[in-house]
Each structure stands twice: as C-alpha cells, then as structure tokens.
Chain A
C-alpha cells in the first residue's frame, strides 16, 4: 500500500525546479524554527517545572530581545518575499515567441484550440521544450487551470483572457485539475496534459484535418460581415486591423492602450467600452452571438494580421494564415 504513497509531485516543467527550491528552502528554515521553538518550550517546561520552595523569577522583558526577534525575522521575510516575487515574475511573463493555445473552460470541461487547428477536450498535447502560452477564458463561472507537475495555476475568468505559460521538460502524462470550485462536477473537471517528444508531437499534429485557427477566424470575419467595415486595403468605417496587435491605440477618451488579447476580445463583445479615437460607436455587440471558441478564432485571425514585432516572419510559433492555409510546421512532412 505504501508503494502507492507519493511524497513529492512530478517535476515536469522549467518552473518546477524553481518552485521546489524555494519550497525546500522554506521547509528547512521553518522546520528549524519549529524545532527550535518546540525544544525551548519542552526544555523550559521540564527545567522550570513547579517545585516546592522554588519561585518564579519575575522578568519584565527586554527591548533588545524584542527588537532582535522582530528585526531578524523581518529581514528573513524580505528575503523570502524577494525570492517568491522573482519566481512569480517568471511565471507571469511568457516569452515573446511562445506557441499560443487558446483555452475555453466551461462547466465541467476544458477545451483547447491549437493554432494549427487541432481541437481537444480535457486532453492537451504539448511538445517537450517549447514555450507554451495558454490564453484562457471561461464560458460560465470562474475555473482554474492547474497542472501540479508544472507548478502552475491560473484562474480562468468569464469575459476576459488570463494567461499562463510553461515549458514542459519531461515527456509523460500529467494531471490537469480545475482548482477553483465551479459547481457540481468540480472534481470531475479534470484532464491530462500529454507531453511528447517533438518528433512524436509533429506526428500527432499532422493527424488532424482541421484548418489553422487564424484561418477559421478569417472565415468567421468574412461571414459575420466584419470585413465590410474593417477593411484591410483602406480605412473603412471601422479601424483597419492590420498591424493592430501589440501596438498602441489612441482611444476616444484620450487614453492610449496596447492592443492585447483582452482589448481585442473586449472590443468584439463590447465595442463601445474602448472606442478608438475618430470612430463612431456604430459596431454592434457580438456578446451572445459568437461562442468563446469563435471569439478565440477571431482574435487569433486579427493577431495574424500583424507582422511579428521582432521580424521573425514564419517563425515556428506564429503560423500565419498563409495562402495555402497550411501552417509552417505541417510543411515539414
């Protein structure tokens, strides 16, 4: 029975080692602290136990001691804070050229949309060694994307995108849990992350018949009539969306913001929220008209209209909607 008693979780991402190192450091530090206090209590309790004729010695206190045992812990705490903050900063900052996977969480399943067009439910295939950025939204309540072996967790909210990223380091199949209580089948909202060697992963990718996500988005863009106002050749009634992604946008109220995933998504669902300077609020809302997955496709398409900022056209991770409709990775075959 005890062979079936793991005491340490799998370590399968670039982040896992960093988190474990801090955890082990804290275990040792706090373990020593605990032992020191317990020993002091036990020693005092034994040494100064009540005896006939021996009275307690009254001691008022000691400012020096108080300052010491406030100041020293404070310094140690600041060190732990900084260490934790550095790891968190890494966890919250996906590398520029990460592969993007759109995720829709709903009661009670996980849906994934790969840029290459593959779609999966409750199972996520990723290759070893590639930076993967999960761009996630929820169709209903708050969920949380949690892969213990990667030591990452990120809540998934309705009405906005949140982001998590990882680089898997070890092939295998790992737990995917929903970590934010989401109703009846919360504990059934589980799945697995399948980490594959790159070659096997390419093979897996090629198995799917689907069109790339930006391509699907382009079809939607046409069929929903977006293209009548958002023209790419010239300035239409709506802003030209070419080279919009990751670039600054001047708003009607004078603010300038960076057009990220959240801004593009919000502008589709609630166009009046952040109106671009010089345009009228004439666009209808698509709230309730398109699904979260269709929204993801649209966002992916609009992002594909922008040149990669570092001039990495055709980079493995940004499969643009090439005329053939085939992503770069598939041409290897």
Chain B
C-alpha cells in the first residue's frame, strides 16, 4: 500500500509522509494502525467466508457427501471462530473507530498510540495461533467450546484455538481501554459529550463491554485449556464439576459480545443516514442513551441462550423478561433512523444504500429476536436454523452491511480517492439480494425443525437448503466486488476533496487523506453534531 504513489495528493498526509515497510510496522499513527487492521481482518474475512461457502456447498444435498463429518464440524467451528473473534469484533472499532475517533473529537491521536500498535501485534499473534489451528487440522468444538465435549471428548487443536482467542481478546481490551480514555481526555475544546457524533457514542459503549466482558472470556477459555490439560474437573460432573457453569461463563461474555458486534455498526449508520438525509439525527439524546442502555442491559441477559439447557424455571423467567427490556433501546434506534429521513433531502449513494439495507435487515434480525426471547417458543426454535438466520441477520445483515457502508462513506477520507459509484451501488444491491436469499430460507428451515450444525439432513429440507446455497454464491460475488474496486480506486479513482459528501463532522474539515496529526491546528468546536441546517454546500447529485 505504501508503494502506491498518490498523484494529485500533493499535500503531506499520513500515507505519503513516510514510505517503506518499517514506517508501517513501527507506526503509532492511529490511521496507519487502522489500515493494518483493515488488511488483517479482510484476510480473516475471506478465510471465514471460504469456510462458509464450503459449508453451504456441503448442505446442497441431504447426504454428507462433499466432506467428512469431522471436516464439516471443523468448517463451522473455524467459520464461527474466525468470523466472530477475528473479523466482527475488531471490524468497526479497530478499523473505522481507530481511524475516525481521534479525528471526530479533534484529537491528534488516541490517548495511548503505542498501546494501539501493541493491540495490533497482539491481534496478529492471536491470528497466527488461529492460522496454526486451521493449518494443522482445526478444532471441532463449535465456536462455543461447550463442555464437556471440548474438554474431554475431542482430539483436535482445541487448546490452540482457545489460546488464539484468549490472545486476541487482549487486543480487544486494549482497544476498548484506549477509546475510553481518549473520549474522556482528548476531546477538542468545545467538543462536549452532547456534541459527540453518535459513532463515537456507539464505540464508547462498545469499549465498555470490551473492557468489562472480555476478561471473563479469557478466564473461561483458560479454564477450558486447564481442564483439557490437567483434568481439574471444574466442568466435569464426574468430579463434582458442572458443565452448565461453563455455559454461564461463556455467555456472560459472548452475549455482550453480540453488542460489541452491532453497536459500532449502529454508530456508522447514524452518521450515514444523517449525512445523506442532510439532517441532524432525530432524537440525538435518546440515540446516545440507547447505546449505553444496550451496553448495560446487554450484560444481564446471557442465560437466554440456555432456556433448554437445564436452568431453573425462575431463572429462565427473569432472563426472558430482561431480554425484552434490552429490545426496547434497539427499537428506539430503528424508529429514530427512520424519523431522521422525514423531511430530509435524501440521496441514494452507495453508503446510503447500505444504511437502508442495515435498517431493514437489522429490523428483521431484531424482531426475530422477540421470537427467541419468548420462552415457550424458544424451546422449539433454539439450536435450529431459526437461530442461525436470526443472528446472521444481525451480524451479517446488520454489522457487515454497516461496516462495508462505512468503508464506502469514509473511503475518500481514508484513501483520498473516490470509489466508482455505480459499481458501489451494484455491489450493495448484490449483497442485499444474496444475503436475503441465503438466510431467509433458514428461518423456515428452523421452524420446520432442522437443527444447526448438521452435516447431513432429512431430504424434506433440501429445497430450502438449495435456495440458501444459491444465495451464498451471490453474496460471495457481492463481497469480492468492493475489494476489487477499492483497490482499483487507490490508483485510478477520482481524487477526493476534503468533504466530497458535504458532510458535517470534524473528520470532513481536514484534508483527504488527513495529515499525520489530523489537523494543522486544534479545532475549536462551537456547533452541535450534525449541523446540516447551517449553510453548507450541497454536493451535486452524481
């Protein structure tokens, strides 16, 4: 990337200030670290996506015929672990958050630039363990590591996978810590909390979860490894242990982790919707409160993953009730995005298409969550494809849409170049169609009763599985397209000016790409966030 010359970008910026591999690997510039993360997680995204395609190909026929049963189990395990821990969790915070938060609050960098670089190295070390796990034959625990299967009954690289995720977790903790301190201490004069862009609020809420939740995951995975190596019996009923204890510990992190994977996406969508409606986000204060509420309540609902696991009736009642409470702030967000468009001036650029897609798919994902939180109904649909469809609507339909939409929105800022707009729209449409074709049939499969993680299945489920596999190939094309034209645009794209969208926000008030320290002089903020009402040139529809 450093080797690519940037004709036309004459001003000194973070990309052309220094060249050479050393200047990247030893950088403490948050923008360069964001790009290091971008490359790393894109790599893992395509690995995880490749596994997903193999899963879908296997499920084309009811019989297990493409790969062995053990191989299939490894595929869905590695798909889940790679996608959750090495793509979704770092996606928006470590790439877009890293790049944008300091600029959005008018700071020169994050509070701890070297810790920021350290977090990337830790991520890479964890990633190497993950690759080692994959290359030496993988693990087949499922991404959830349920005991006692993971501790006593499998002969695969479970410890290596646990170590990989354990290590990567520290990178997540450090990023969260850095964001929290940065938002508290580094805001430019006049950038009060009530003037922060919602993207910053969303990442701040995410950071709280990362810092408070991830250590519990680390402890849990350490216990799994110890249990495997030394057979302490913590989760082993034969030694007085309890396998459900593992599930409580695991979901205590992994349910809030769902919010790590969606809150930053909500932040991205708030920015995009405001910009392309040319309006202040409707109900700013409620939007900010909602993300904090989700982060807090998100810690209190973990056992809704365990309604049929053998927890007590009354525990189940409490966790179901709390799960409905956490649905309220999510509903608030959807209503406010929609209301933001009211009487706006809406343009259908690529990022806005992704935002439309996000709102639609997140709504469906969220509403099907109501089905799963209903105790009596969850008994039937949990551990079936209904759950698979539900969380892919949130994580892929929601988070991945938001992430790719955000990449398009800030691409001019990141690269100094415009991406080709018509290709962008085509890819957005392809992804939307491919996604729905892949995952909508899975809701029906789930209610029919097809369990998840099945290598072979009963023939009556085939038609819906074929539809899903067909969708996944369309989705794959949709994901490859942006990668191709983003790379193309770095050399051939139209040179972007400081603010090609006419957007509000400090990141649009500095050069594209920004100079190393973001601003030539520290800005002083005298306006509210999303001040689209104040005179600003509306760009001509392209």
Contacts and interface: CB of A to CB of B under 8 A. Distances in A.
A57 B345 CA distance: 8
B7 interface: no
> Which secondary structure characterizes the binding site on chain A?
mixed
A153 B321 contact: no
| For the complex of A and B, 5 pairs with smallest distance between CB atoms | A87-B376, A159-B237, A148-B449, A84-B374, A88-B375
Interface string A1-35: 11011111100000000110011001000100110
Given A26-B374, A84-B378, 6 more contacts: A45-B346, A50-B278, A55-B345, A78-B324, A187-B454, A188-B69
A274 interface: no
A296 interface: no
Contacts of A309: none
Contacts of A51: 345
A18 B454 CA distance: 27
B313 interface: yes
A23 B371 contact: yes
A50 B542 CA distance: 11
B64 interface: yes
Interface string A26-69: 10001001100110110011001111001111111110011001
Interface of B: 64, 69-70, 73, 140, 142, 146, 148-149, 152-154, 237-238, 240, 243-244, 277-280, 282-286, 307-310, 313, 316-317, 320-321, 324-325, 327-328, 331-332, 334-336, 338-339, 341-348, 356, 359-360, 363-364, 367-368, 370-371, 373-380, 382-384, 444, 447-449, 451-460, 462-464, 532-533, 538, 541
Given A87-B376, A88-B379, A141-B153, A187 B317 contact: no
A41 B371 contact: no
Contacts of A219: none
A224 to B, nearest CB: 19
Contact of B376 (A2, A58, A88, A190): A88
A85 interface: yes
A103 to B, nearest CB: 14
A58 B148 contact: no
Interface residues of A, number: 91
Contacts of B321: 81
24 contacts: A1-B463, A4-B463, A9-B448, A23-B447, A33-B367, A37-B338, A49-B347, A61-B336, A69-B331, A69-B335, A74-B325, A74-B328, A81-B324, A90-B376, A92-B313, A153-B383, A157-B237, A158-B243, A175-B449, A179-B382, A180-B383, A181-B146, A187-B454, A187-B456
B149 A182 contact: yes
A115 interface: no
Contacts of B336: 61, 66
A245 interface: no
Contacts of B368: 30
A73 B69 contact: no
A144 B344 CA distance: 51
Given A26-B374, A41-B360, A48-B341, A85 B320 contact: yes
A98 interface: no
B373 A73 contact: no
A22 B376 contact: yes
Contacts of A180: 146, 383
B106 to A, nearest CB: 23
B60 to A, nearest CB: 14
Given A4-B460, A58-B279, A77-B328, A148 B149 contact: no
A58 B348 contact: no
A183 interface: yes
Nearest to A90: B376
A160 B310 contact: yes
B346 A152 contact: no
B345 A48 contact: yes
B356 to A, nearest CB: 6
B70 A184 contact: yes
B307 A88 contact: yes
Contacts of B284: 60-61
A18 B341 contact: no
A142 interface: yes
